[in-house]
Amino acid sequence: MAPRGDGLLNHDLLPNEKGPQDACGVFGVWAPGEEVAKLTYFGLYALQHRGQESAGIATSNGEQLLVYKDMGLVSQVFDETALNALHGHIAVGHARYSTTGGSTWENAQPTLGATAGGTVALAHNGNLTNTAELVDLVAERYGAQRRGELARGNTTDTALVTALFAGDPDHTLEATAMEVLPRLRGAFSLVWMDEHTLYAARDPQGVRPLVLGRLERGWVVASETPALDIVGASYVREIEPGELVAIDADGLRTQRFTEKQQRAGCVFEYVYLARPDTTISGRSVHAARVEMGRRLAQEHPVEADLVIPVPESGTPAAIGYAQASGIPFGQGLTKNSYVGRTFIQPSQTLRQLGIRLKLNPLREVIRGKRLVVVDDSIVRGNTQRALIRMLREAGAAEVHVRISSPPVKWPCFYGIDFASRAELIANGLAVEEIGSSLGADSLGYISMDGMIAATEQPAAQLCTACFTGKYPIELPSQDRLGKHLLEQNELPLGNPEDGLVAIIPGAGGATALEHP
């Protein structure tokens, strides 16, 4: 039997270093006559940057739902045999990075539940802030005994939503969703389906992106526009905040599950999370990042010989910095694209080499040069510290660091897993102190106004909580927040019982769902 991944993808090439971990990627397709599982596979492939811990696809042939999910990258989880077994005309898919619940097979998505009229499979991008309240609601409505996915060890907010969607015997799935969605707080871009209908919904603030596309013979919903491009779907529009979309044999219909509220799109999607070829709210992410670099050059000029990016996330901003400053742009670092997406934990000897596992300097390019090094953000600072040391050892005369986002000082509760506030280097130090700690000759962050202007979005319609500490969606008390909230024994959900559906494990993590 071939070895299977454990989902422990290593981003942490330096001891105790943790960058901003991505949100998840969701994809859904309704397309009779198409190979929907393969369309979903390639859609998830385009969204792989949003989550690398697990991947899953559920399909419906109108009579039965099948789901296949496992730990690992999309290309590691699926092969031709698995995809060919997933028949149907509807599919939903998910690429996961954990923000509620640990990185385990039980927490992989799509999640499943048996409804009064069939089955529901659900995929979620974002993070709910009222998870503890939803635990109380599940216990109040259906008893404290854990059922469905919760009974099988799932500890995610997605499993709670699935339990609420699936548990009402007196209403259709759509009617139940219209009742449950207004009860959810936080960030959620949801894609789900039953045997006949594909659904999508977005939280009232529109924190995470979600878009609608048209196929010749169907419809697609996805986290980002490149997932539409890769399957040949034409962009139609964004799913609106507070909107529920349903697609079935009668076509597409839409309704609002809440009144319009103040938008709060995540500004960090423009800075780092989204692919550069994505368009969000009409603005090209690549163009926004280049403009951030231009404004950074205007705000923090310096005499230097070469502008180099920290690949790949710093590249667009470095291009903009070079354009605005007149300093030549160069590739001073070469990246090993496969390290940082590995299941193998580096030995201590390799860890001592630190960032060289991922980046190596082009000595002939940087030797004797005064460098401007452009990156998207600083979290703990360990990566930048090791990078600056490496550049100096390679002969750089000066190293001036420029960052295309303001200092990250606050945690995110809406789907990005930053380090804790105590670990954020900008939380306790002034900019000059951070620069000194990193060993840089100078350090400059873009201003909040400069970053927001580059997005071309109204400041009032963006969430900037990780920079300002001003959270647009009210947070509960600290004891009712946290990634591992549902793994705490004191929550009012009792011991597992037999679930509402039977999950039959198969080779490589395949699962088939049948009604008992």
Q: Which residues are the active-site residues?
A: 24
Flag whether 313 is marked binding: yes
Q: Distance between CA atoms of 395 and 388, rounded to whole angstroms?
A: 11
The residues, ordered by sequence, that sit 6+ positions from 353 with a Cβ below 8 Å of its Cβ are: none
Q: Kindly report the backbone phi and psi dihedral angles of residue 299, in degrees, each rounded to the nearest multiple of 5, phi listed first.
A: -80, -30
| For helices 431-438 and 382-393, angle between their N-to-C axes, nearest 10 degrees | 50
Flag whether 79 is marked binding: no
| Chain Cα centroid distance, residue 222 | 12
> What single letter denotes the amino acid at residue 240?
E
* Structure letter (DSSP) for residue 181: G
Q: Distance between CA atoms of 239 and 232, rounded to whole angstroms?
A: 19
Flag whether 449 is marked binding: no
Flag whether 376 is marked binding: yes
Distances (CA, A) of 173 to 163, 180, 214, 258: 12, 10, 24, 17
* Structure letter (DSSP) for residue 287: H
Q: Distance between CA atoms of 14 and 340, rounded to whole angstroms?
A: 11
Q: Distance between CA atoms of 516 and 74, rounded to whole angstroms?
A: 30
Continuous segment of H or E residues that includes residue 468: helix 465-468
Helix (H, G, I), strand (E, B) or coil at 152: coil
Distances (CA, A) of 304 to 360, 387, 393, 434: 21, 18, 18, 21
Cα-Cα-Cα-Cα dihedral sign, residues 389, 395, 401, 404 = negative
> What single letter denotes the amino acid at residue 138?
V
> What single letter denotes the amino acid at residue 186?
G
Is cis: bond before 398, omega within 30 of 0?
no
Q: Distance between CA atoms of 272 and 418, rounded to whole angstroms?
A: 13
SS (H, E, C) 67-93: EEEEECCHHHHCCHHHHHHCCCCEEEE
Residue with the two structure tokens 């939903």? 92
Helix (H, G, I), strand (E, B) or coil at 438: helix
Flag whether 347 is marked binding: no
> What single letter denotes the amino acid at residue 111?
T
How many CA atoms, within 13 angstroms, populate the side-chain half-sphere of residue 408?
Answer: 27
Flag whether 463 is marked binding: yes
Flag whether 442 is marked binding: no
Q: Distance between CA atoms of 283 and 276, rounded to whole angstroms?
A: 11
- Which residues sit in the known binding site for Mg(2+)? 313, 375-376
- Which residues sit in the known binding site for [4Fe-4S] cluster? 266, 412, 463, 466
- Which residues sit in the known binding site? 266, 313, 375-376, 412, 463, 466
